[in-house]
Protein backbone atom coordinates (compact mmCIF):
# COMPACT_ATOMS: atom_id res chain seq x y z
CA UNK A 1 0.00 0.00 0.00
CA UNK A 2 1.61 3.29 -1.10
CA UNK A 3 1.56 6.45 1.04
CA UNK A 4 -1.42 8.24 -0.59
CA UNK A 5 -3.50 5.05 -0.50
CA UNK A 6 -2.57 4.45 3.14
CA UNK A 7 -3.49 8.04 4.06
CA UNK A 8 -6.88 7.67 2.36
CA UNK A 9 -7.42 4.36 4.14
CA UNK A 10 -6.68 5.93 7.51
CA UNK A 11 -8.97 8.89 6.87
CA UNK A 12 -11.84 6.53 6.10
CA UNK A 13 -10.96 3.93 8.71
CA UNK A 14 -12.80 3.58 11.99
CA UNK A 15 -9.92 1.57 13.39
CA UNK A 16 -8.62 3.64 16.36
CA UNK A 17 -5.19 2.00 16.21
CA UNK A 18 -4.72 2.98 12.56
CA UNK A 19 -5.84 6.54 13.25
CA UNK A 20 -3.58 6.81 16.32
CA UNK A 21 -0.60 5.47 14.34
CA UNK A 22 -1.27 8.05 11.65
CA UNK A 23 -1.41 10.76 14.32
CA UNK A 24 2.04 9.73 15.65
CA UNK A 25 3.46 10.03 12.13
CA UNK A 26 2.26 13.62 11.82
CA UNK A 27 4.95 16.29 11.98
CA UNK A 28 3.37 18.34 14.79
CA UNK A 29 4.55 19.30 18.25
CA UNK A 30 1.67 17.37 19.85
CA UNK A 31 2.53 14.15 18.04
CA UNK A 32 6.19 14.60 19.08
CA UNK A 33 5.20 15.05 22.74
CA UNK A 34 2.91 12.02 22.70
CA UNK A 35 5.61 9.93 20.98
CA UNK A 36 8.15 10.95 23.62
CA UNK A 37 5.78 10.06 26.46
CA UNK A 38 5.11 6.66 24.88
CA UNK A 39 8.85 6.06 24.50
CA UNK A 40 9.44 6.82 28.19
CA UNK A 41 6.58 4.49 29.19
CA UNK A 42 7.92 1.75 26.92
CA UNK A 43 11.44 2.00 28.36
CA UNK A 44 10.39 2.29 32.02
CA UNK A 45 7.58 -0.24 32.19
CA UNK A 46 8.46 -2.78 29.49
CA UNK A 47 12.12 -2.62 28.42
CA UNK A 48 13.75 -2.27 31.86
CA UNK A 49 11.55 -4.83 33.66
CA UNK A 50 12.24 -7.33 30.86
CA UNK A 51 15.98 -6.58 31.01
CA UNK A 52 15.96 -6.97 34.80
CA UNK A 53 14.30 -10.37 34.45
CA UNK A 54 16.88 -11.55 31.92
CA UNK A 55 19.94 -10.23 33.79
CA UNK A 56 18.80 -11.06 37.31
CA UNK A 57 19.69 -7.52 38.35
CA UNK A 58 17.40 -4.78 39.63
CA UNK A 59 19.71 -2.28 37.89
CA UNK A 60 20.71 -3.83 34.56
CA UNK A 61 22.03 -0.56 33.09
CA UNK A 62 23.85 1.97 35.25
CA UNK A 63 25.61 5.26 34.53
CA UNK A 64 28.93 5.82 36.33
CA UNK A 65 28.38 9.08 38.23
CA UNK A 66 31.69 9.51 40.07
CA UNK A 67 35.44 9.33 39.46
CA UNK A 68 36.14 6.60 42.04
CA UNK A 69 37.12 4.08 39.33
CA UNK A 70 38.90 6.57 37.10
CA UNK A 71 42.52 6.01 36.07
CA UNK A 72 44.16 9.40 35.71
CA UNK A 73 47.03 8.05 33.59
CA UNK A 74 48.24 4.97 31.74
CA UNK A 75 48.41 1.71 33.66
CA UNK A 76 52.12 1.97 34.47
CA UNK A 77 51.73 5.43 35.97
CA UNK A 78 48.54 4.47 37.75
CA UNK A 79 50.16 1.42 39.32
CA UNK A 80 53.15 3.48 40.46
CA UNK A 81 50.75 5.79 42.31
CA UNK A 82 48.31 3.21 43.67
CA UNK A 83 49.96 -0.21 43.50
CA UNK A 84 51.44 -0.28 47.00
CA UNK A 85 47.97 -0.48 48.53
CA UNK A 86 47.08 -3.56 46.47
CA UNK A 87 50.41 -5.27 47.16
CA UNK A 88 49.78 -4.86 50.90
CA UNK A 89 46.41 -6.54 50.37
CA UNK A 90 48.04 -9.46 48.55
CA UNK A 91 47.18 -8.40 44.97
CA UNK A 92 50.22 -8.26 42.70
CA UNK A 93 50.61 -6.16 39.58
CA UNK A 94 50.47 -9.32 37.46
CA UNK A 95 47.16 -10.31 39.06
CA UNK A 96 45.69 -6.84 38.63
CA UNK A 97 46.64 -6.83 34.95
CA UNK A 98 44.40 -9.88 34.49
CA UNK A 99 41.35 -8.12 35.97
CA UNK A 100 38.51 -6.97 33.74
CA UNK A 101 38.62 -3.20 33.20
CA UNK A 102 42.16 -3.03 34.57
CA UNK A 103 42.27 0.58 33.35
CA UNK A 104 39.13 1.42 35.32
CA UNK A 105 35.86 3.07 34.37
CA UNK A 106 35.20 6.72 33.68
CA UNK A 107 32.41 9.02 34.76
CA UNK A 108 29.72 8.94 32.08
CA UNK A 109 30.31 5.30 31.10
CA UNK A 110 27.21 3.10 30.98
CA UNK A 111 27.72 -0.36 32.42
CA UNK A 112 25.67 -3.49 31.80
CA UNK A 113 25.12 -5.33 35.09
CA UNK A 114 24.69 -9.11 35.30
CA UNK A 115 23.10 -10.48 38.47
CA UNK A 116 23.29 -14.23 37.76
CA UNK A 117 26.91 -14.23 38.90
CA UNK A 118 29.59 -15.66 41.08
CA UNK A 119 31.87 -12.93 42.33
CA UNK A 120 35.64 -12.94 42.64
CA UNK A 121 38.51 -10.58 43.31
CA UNK A 122 38.91 -8.11 40.45
CA UNK A 123 35.22 -7.96 39.49
CA UNK A 124 33.64 -4.51 39.44
CA UNK A 125 30.35 -4.86 41.27
CA UNK A 126 27.41 -2.64 42.11
CA UNK A 127 26.06 -3.02 45.64
CA UNK A 128 23.67 -1.43 48.09
CA UNK A 129 25.36 0.65 50.83
CA UNK A 130 25.27 -0.56 54.42
CA UNK A 131 21.97 0.23 56.17
CA UNK A 132 23.66 2.63 58.60
CA UNK A 133 24.95 4.76 55.72
CA UNK A 134 23.20 7.89 54.51
CA UNK A 135 24.17 7.12 50.90
CA UNK A 136 21.12 7.19 48.64
CA UNK A 137 22.50 5.32 45.66
CA UNK A 138 24.28 1.99 45.06
CA UNK A 139 28.09 1.98 44.90
CA UNK A 140 30.23 0.70 42.02
CA UNK A 141 33.71 -0.47 43.11
CA UNK A 142 36.13 -3.35 42.51
CA UNK A 143 36.29 -6.45 44.74
CA UNK A 144 39.65 -6.64 46.51
CA UNK A 145 38.96 -9.48 48.96
CA UNK A 146 36.47 -12.25 49.67
CA UNK A 147 35.00 -13.82 52.83
CA UNK A 148 33.68 -11.23 53.42
CA UNK A 149 33.49 -9.33 50.15
CA UNK A 150 35.23 -5.98 50.28
CA UNK A 151 35.79 -3.40 47.55
CA UNK A 152 37.80 -0.30 46.71
CA UNK A 153 37.57 2.37 44.05
CA UNK A 154 40.63 2.27 41.79
CA UNK A 155 41.00 6.06 42.07
CA UNK A 156 40.53 6.17 45.83
CA UNK A 157 43.57 6.17 48.12
CA UNK A 158 41.89 3.83 50.62
CA UNK A 159 38.76 1.84 51.28
CA UNK A 160 35.64 3.52 52.59
CA UNK A 161 34.81 2.74 56.21
CA UNK A 162 31.99 4.06 58.36
CA UNK A 163 34.37 6.49 60.06
CA UNK A 164 36.31 7.99 57.14
CA UNK A 165 33.57 9.40 54.90
CA UNK A 166 30.70 11.76 55.53
CA UNK A 167 28.05 9.28 54.33
CA UNK A 168 29.22 6.50 56.63
CA UNK A 169 29.74 4.02 53.78
CA UNK A 170 31.53 0.82 54.78
CA UNK A 171 32.81 -1.27 51.89
CA UNK A 172 34.92 -3.65 53.98
CA UNK A 173 32.15 -6.15 54.76
CA UNK A 174 29.54 -6.59 52.00
CA UNK A 175 27.03 -9.45 52.37
CA UNK A 176 26.23 -11.13 49.06
CA UNK A 177 22.55 -10.25 49.43
CA UNK A 178 23.49 -6.57 49.01
CA UNK A 179 25.33 -7.19 45.74
CA UNK A 180 23.17 -6.22 42.76
CA UNK A 181 25.49 -7.62 40.08
CA UNK A 182 28.80 -7.24 38.31
CA UNK A 183 29.92 -5.27 35.27
CA UNK A 184 30.09 -7.36 32.10
CA UNK A 185 30.55 -4.63 29.49
CA UNK A 186 30.53 -0.86 29.16
CA UNK A 187 29.44 1.83 26.72
CA UNK A 188 31.86 4.77 27.06
CA UNK A 189 30.74 8.41 27.40
CA UNK A 190 27.07 7.90 26.44
CA UNK A 191 25.90 8.29 30.03
CA UNK A 192 26.65 12.02 29.84
CA UNK A 193 23.33 12.35 27.99
CA UNK A 194 21.76 11.76 31.42
CA UNK A 195 24.43 13.27 33.68
CA UNK A 196 24.41 16.67 32.00
CA UNK A 197 20.95 17.37 33.47
CA UNK A 198 22.05 16.60 37.05
CA UNK A 199 25.57 18.03 37.15
CA UNK A 200 24.48 21.58 38.15
CA UNK A 201 22.89 20.16 41.33
CA UNK A 202 25.95 18.19 42.46
CA UNK A 203 28.50 19.58 44.96
CA UNK A 204 31.03 21.82 43.23
CA UNK A 205 33.91 19.39 43.75
CA UNK A 206 32.02 16.54 42.08
CA UNK A 207 30.97 18.31 38.88
CA UNK A 208 32.47 17.88 35.46
CA UNK A 209 34.86 15.43 33.92
CA UNK A 210 37.41 13.36 35.82
CA UNK A 211 41.05 14.33 35.72
Q: Mean pLDDT across the stretch 112-140?
A: 96
Comparing 200 with 5, which gets the higher pLDDT? Answer: 200
The predicted structure's pLDDT at residue 8: 44
CA distances from 192 to 2, 103, 107, 182, 187 (A): 41, 20, 8, 21, 11
Write out pLDDT tens, residues 150-159: 999 999 999 9
Phi-psi region of 108 (alpha: psi -120 to 50; beta: other; left: phi over 0): left
Please tell me what DSSP assigns to residue 174.
B
- Band (11; pLDDT cuts 50, 70, 90): low
Residues above pLDDT 90, as percent of the chain: 71
- What pLDDT does 9 receive? 42
Taking each helix axis from N to C end, the angle separating 29-42 and 16-25, rounded to the nearest 10 degrees, works out to 110
| 167 burial level (CB within 10 Å; 0-12, 13-18, 19+) | middle
pLDDT in tens, 50-87: 999 999 999 999 999 999 999 999 999 999 999 999 99
pLDDT of residue 2 exceeding 80: no
* Mean pLDDT, rounded, of the chain: 90
pLDDT value of residue 106:
97
Each residue's pLDDT tens digit, 130-151: 999 999 999 999 999 999 999 9
**Tens digits of per-residue pLDDT, 88-105?**
999 999 999 999 999 999
Is the Cβ–Cβ distance between 191 and 110 less than 8 Å? yes
Amino acid sequence: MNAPTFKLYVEKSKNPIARFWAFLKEDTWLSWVVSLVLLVILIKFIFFPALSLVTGSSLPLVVIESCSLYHESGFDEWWSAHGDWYVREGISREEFEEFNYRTGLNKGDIIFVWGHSDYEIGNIIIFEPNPESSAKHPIIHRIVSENPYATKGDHNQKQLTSSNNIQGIDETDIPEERIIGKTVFKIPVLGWVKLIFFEPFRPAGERGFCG
